Each structure stands twice: as C-alpha cells, then as structure tokens.
Structure 1
Amino acid sequence: MLTYRLTSRDLADVRFAVSPVAEMVLSFRALRDPGRFPLQLGWVRAVQPYVADLDWDVLRWLVNDTMGSPDFLTPRPTSPLTQLADELELIASVSKDTFARQLIAVNGELPEGLTIDKVVAALTEYWQAVMAPYWSRMRTLLSADISYRGHILTQQGTGAMLNGLGPAISYADGLLRVDRVADPSRTEDIDGRGLVLQPTLFGPHAVIPFDPGADPLLGYPPRGQAHLWSVVEPPSQQDLAQLIGTPRARILELLTYPRTTTDLAGELKVTPSAVSQHLQLLRRTGLVEPQRTGKQVLYRPTELAALLTGTDVD
C-alpha cells in the first residue's frame, strides 16, 4: 500500500492530466498478460497482427515481471492536453545516470547496448503501429472521465472525488491510501509538490511511481471502459446522417482541416448563415470547436466527432 499525506493546501492543488506516453508504456502490461486486462481485450486482439514486428529486444526491458516500469518512461504530465512529442523529448533528455539507475532498479541489470535513443525509437515505432490508430477513442474516454471527476469535485468536494476513483483508492482525514500497489508499503508526504491524478486504461487497479519519493502521481481506472471496444467499426455516413442530420454530417465530412463558415458555405452551395446555424448546433453538442486565426474563425472537429466518424484529430 502507498499512503499519501495531504495538507489542506495539497488538497487544493490536486490536478488532472492525460499522458499519451504513459498509456503507451502501461499498455505493455496488457500485451504481456492479457488475462489481467479483460476490458482491453478488444484492443489486444486488434493489434496482434502488428505486435511480433516490434522491437522487443528493447521493449521487453521496459516492463518487468511484476509490471513495474522505470519512471523516466512516464514523466509526470502537467495537463489533460499533454502531447506525445513533448513527452518523448523529455524521455530523450534523461541523464545517463537516471537511465541506468532506474533500469537496474526495475530489471536487476542494465542490458548491454541499450541506449535512450534505441528506447525512443522503439517507443515511436510502437506508438505508430498499435496506439495511434486507437488513440482518439482512448483519449476521448480519458478526457470524459476527467470532466466527470471535475464535476464531482466542484459539487461534492475533493474528498468525495478521491473516494470515487476506484476500489483500491480511499481517502479520509488527510490520508490517501492506494492498495494493491507498493510492496513493502510506504507513506509519503505531498509536501506542496502537487498531486497529479491520471486516468489510465492499463492500471488495472491503480498506478504509482516506481521510485519512492518521486513526484506524487496516481493513475486510476476511468469510467466507461467496458464499452470502449464495443463498437469495432465506425458508423457509415448514412448512419451518421440519420443520427445528426445530413447537412451536419456533410459538414463534419468536410472538416478534414480547419475551415471557415464562408468556405464551407461555398463548398455546400448554401448561405453562410445556414452553415453558421449548423455549426453552432455542432459546437453546442461538442462535435466542433472554433479557433481564431487573425480575424478569421476556423472550425475543426473535436475528439468526440473523431470517435463518431472514425477519423483522427490532429
């Protein structure tokens, strides 16, 4: 068990984040022991044709038999909008001493010839092969969970939110207890460093830093995982049109890159005011979002739209 001690100041500084690289590294667990991750079997089955071609001479050293990974592979994220490229840069810049020390702590040895450049290259290949095609769907679920937890926090308080994170996590009287994670058990003070809460699909119960004393981080299981892989194929254009209407489905189809109302109106051969009405409804329902560039307002699809249409959002 890991116990975090939080002061009232620490409770006010709890924040949420999503980490693409952490999801990637933690997903090794599901490939290594699928039986522990029944809710992710849809993903495990889908990626099987690509797994054998990955660089397991490197990847096998990044998670041990007890599902531990070196902390340099999962830098503490700072935002729900964390980008993979930024995290890979942090990994690439890790010192040789930290690289060696943490790999030895996890594996009991430092593999001969293993370098940080080889690790970053193997992770990049892994991401493109088995994570990138499914990341929009994963990220949508993780982001939705953060929104839900934020609602609980504002309506019921930090304690209620922490107690709802999962069966292995409990909070009372300034102590946040995380079961089924640390052996031997340990207690650590947050001590003004901030606690980052990170939903992860590959817990399965909770995730904590490998190194004692590392910056406080708690990965927890998000809601809705049971249905994450229930829709294997994206809906057809006809299905989407029946759901949201043909004009709005056509607008989403055209938003392969950010476009203005006038641009879309010209493409659809309708008035800008007609397009504007559709865009406002799509915006209110979370399917498009505006971005201002100079005097122009461009519209782009959201992650939810990408989930509906089976496309990627940059």
Structure 2
Amino acid sequence: MLTYELTSRDLEDVRFAVSPAAETVLSLRALQDPGRFPLQLPWIRAVQPLLEALDWSVLRWLVNDTMGSPDFLTPRPTSPLTQIADELDLIGSVDRETFERQLVAVNGEVPAELAGPDGATKVVDALREYWQAAIAPYWNRMRTLLTADISYRGHVVTQRGTGVMLNELGPAISYGDGLLRVDRVSDISRTESVDGRGLVLQPTLFGPHAVIPMDVGAEPILGYPPRGQATLWSVVDPPSRRDLAQLIGTARARILELLTHPRTTTDVAAELKVTPSAVSQQLQLLRRTGLVEPQRTGKQVLYKPTQLAALLTGTESD
C-alpha cells in the first residue's frame, strides 16, 4: 500500500493529466498477461498480428513479471494535452545513473541489450515503433475516453468536493482525514508526504487497479481506472462515409471531411459552392453537438474538428 499525506493546500493543487507514454508502456502489461485485462482483449487481439516485427529484445525488459516498470519510462505529465513526442524526448534524456538503477530495480540487472551509452536511445526507438504499430491507430479513441473521465472528475470536484472525487477513483483507492491510500499496488507499504509538490491524477486503461511510482520519494502521481472502459472497444472500426452521413447528415459529414485543418466559414462555403450562411448554420449545429470547435485568429473565426469528431471519422492526431 502507498499512502499519500495531503494537506488542505495539497488538495487544492490536485491536477489531472493524460500520458501517451504511460499508456504505451503500461499497455505492455496487457500483452504480457491478457487475463488480467479482460476489458482490453479486443485491442490485444487486434494488435497481435503486428507485434512480431517489433524490437522485443528491448521491449521485454520494460515490464517485469510483477507488472513493474522503471519510472523514467512514465515521466509525470503536466496536462491532458501531453504529446508522445515530448515524452519520448524526456525518456531519451534520462541520466545514466537513474536509467541503470531503475532497470536493476525492475529486472535485477541492467540487461545486456541496454548496457552502454546508447541504452536510452534503444528504448526510445523501440517505444516509438511500438507506439506507431499498437497505440497510435487507437489513440483518438483511447484519449477521448481518458479526457471524458477527467471532465467527469472535474464536475465531481465542483459539485461535491475533492475528497469525494478521490474516494470515487476506484476500489483500491480511498481518502479520509488527509490520507490518500492506494491498495493492491505493492507488497511493501510506505507513506509519503505530498508536501506542496502537487498530486497528479492520471486515468489509465492499463492499471488495472492503480499505478504508482516505484521510486520512494518520486514526484506524486497516481494512475487510476477511468469510467466507461467496458464500451471502449464496442465499435472496432470507424464508420464508413455512408454510415457517417446517415448519422449526422450528408452536408455536415462533408464539412467534417473538409476540416482537415482549421478553416473559416467562407473557406468551407467556397469549397462546397454554397452560401456562407448555409455553412454557418451547419457549423453551429456541429458545434452544439460537440463535433467542431471555434478558435479565433485575429478577426477570423476558424473551425476545427473535436476529438469526438476524430473518433467518429477515424482520423489520427498525436
């Protein structure tokens, strides 16, 4: 068990974040022991044919038999908008002492494949290939669920308080009297003070109960299981153009197709050869249903698809 001691000031500084790197690394757990991750079995089956070509001489050392991973592989994210490229840069810049010490803590040794000055570079290269093959094609769907959970937790904080929100994170997590207890994560119990460092809460699909740092005294972070995982893979493939048109209408589906980059109402109208007012009506409906969002640049208002729209259309983004 890990127990975080939280002052009232610490409670005010609780933050949420999403980490593409953490989902990438932690997903290796599900491939290693699928029986512990029944909700992710559709994803496991989908990526199995792609795994043979990856560098398992490196990847096999990133998660041990007890589901432990070196902390440097999951740098503490700073926002729900963290990008995989930035996190891979952080992983690649880990100092040699930390790199070797944490590998020994997880594997009992520094694997021969990762010995030498280029060990971190090998890890980054292997993770980048694994991300592209197994995570990137599904990242829009995964990120949408993770950010939706963060939104829900924010509403709980606003309406019922941070303490209630912490108590509802999962069966292995409980809060009371300034103590946040995380069970089912370690055979050895420890208590650590957050002490103004800020606690980051990170929803993850590959907990399955909770995820904590291995290093004693590491920056406070807690991975917890998000809501809605049971329906995450209920639709395996994105809808076809015809399906999407039947769902939201031909005109609005065509507008979403054109928004490959932020565009103005006038731009879209010219492309479709209709009046700007006609496009404006459709864009306002798409905005109200959460499929597009405006962004102002000077005097212009540009429209771009939301993550929900990307999920519907099957488009990819980092």
Smaller-chain TM-score bracket: over 0.9
2:95 is aligned with 1:91: no
Who is 1:50 aligned against? 50
- State the Cα distance separating 1:148 from its structure 2 match: 0.3
In the alignment, the residues of structure 2 paired with residue 78 and residue 267 of structure 1 have an alpha-carbon distance, to the nearest angstrom, of 39
2:305 alignment partner, one of 301, 308, 311 = 301
Residue 253 of structure 1 and its aligned partner are, at CA, apart by 1.5
Q: 2:217 is matched with which residue?
A: 213
Distance, in Å, in 2 between the alignment partners of 1:288 and 1:67 is 39
1:25 partner letter:
V
Q: Which residue of 2 aligns with 1:4?
A: 4
| 1:242 to partner: Cα distance | 2.4
Matched, 1:38 2:38: yes
Q: CA deviation at 1:300?
A: 1.4
- In 1: Cα distance, 2:220 partner to 2:288 partner: 36
Within 5 Å, give how 1:1-314 maps onto structure 2. Answer: 1-114=1-114, 115-313=119-317
Q: Following the alignment from structure 2 to structure 1, what is the Cα–Cα distance between the partners of residues 295 and 316? A: 18
1:113 offset after TM fit, Å? Answer: 4.2
Asked if structure 2 preserves the Cα contact closer than 8 Å seen for 1:302 and 1:313, the reply is no
| SS of alignment partner, residue 61 of structure 1 | coil
Supply the distance in 1 between the matched residues of 2:299 and 2:92 (Cα, whole angstroms): 39
Which stretch has the larger CA shift, 198-207 or 229-238?
229-238
CA root-mean-square deviation: 1.1
For the 8 Å contact 2:2–2:186, the answer to whether it is kept is yes
How many residues are paired up?
Answer: 314
By how many angstroms is 1:97 displaced?
0.7
Unaligned 5+ runs, structure 1: none
More displaced 10-residue stretch of structure 1: 131-140 or 290-299: 290-299
Contact kept, 8 Å, 2:144 with 2:308, in 1: the verdict is yes
Q: Is the 8 A contact 1:301 1:313 kept in 2?
A: no
Q: Match of 2:221, as an amino acid? A: L
Contact 1:286 1:302 in 2 (8 A): yes
The whole-number CA distance in structure 1 between the counterparts of 2:85 and 2:247 is 35
Question: By how many angstroms is 1:247 displaced?
Answer: 1.2
Instruction: Quote how far apart the aligned CAs of 1:298 are.
Output: 2.1
1:289: Cα distance to partner? 1.6
What TM-score do you get using the length of structure 2 for normalisation? Answer: 0.96
Give the Å deviation of 1:63.
0.6
1:271-297: CA deviations, max 9, x gaps?
111111211221222111223334432
- Unaligned stretches of 5+ in structure 2? none
**What code does the residue aligned with 2:282 have?**
H
Determine what percentage of the aligned residue pairs are the same residue: 81
What is the distance in 1 between the residues matched to 2:142 and 2:63?
21
Alpha-carbon distance in structure 1 between the residues aligned to 2:59 and 2:29: 11
TM-score normalized by the length of structure 1: 0.98
1:210-240: CA deviation from partner (whole Å, max 9, x where unpaired): 1111111000000000010010122222222
- For 1:92 and 1:313, locate their aligned partners in 2 and report how far apart those are by CA, in whole Å: 22
Q: How far does the alpha carbon of each residue in 1:172-228 deviate from its partner, in whole angstroms, 9 at most, with x for none?
A: 111111110022111111111110000000000000001111111000000000010
Is the contact between residue 58 and residue 113 of structure 2 (CA under 8 Å) also seen in structure 1?
A: no
Displacement of 1:243 after TM fit? 2.1
The DSSP-based 3-state class of the residue aligned with 1:292 is: strand
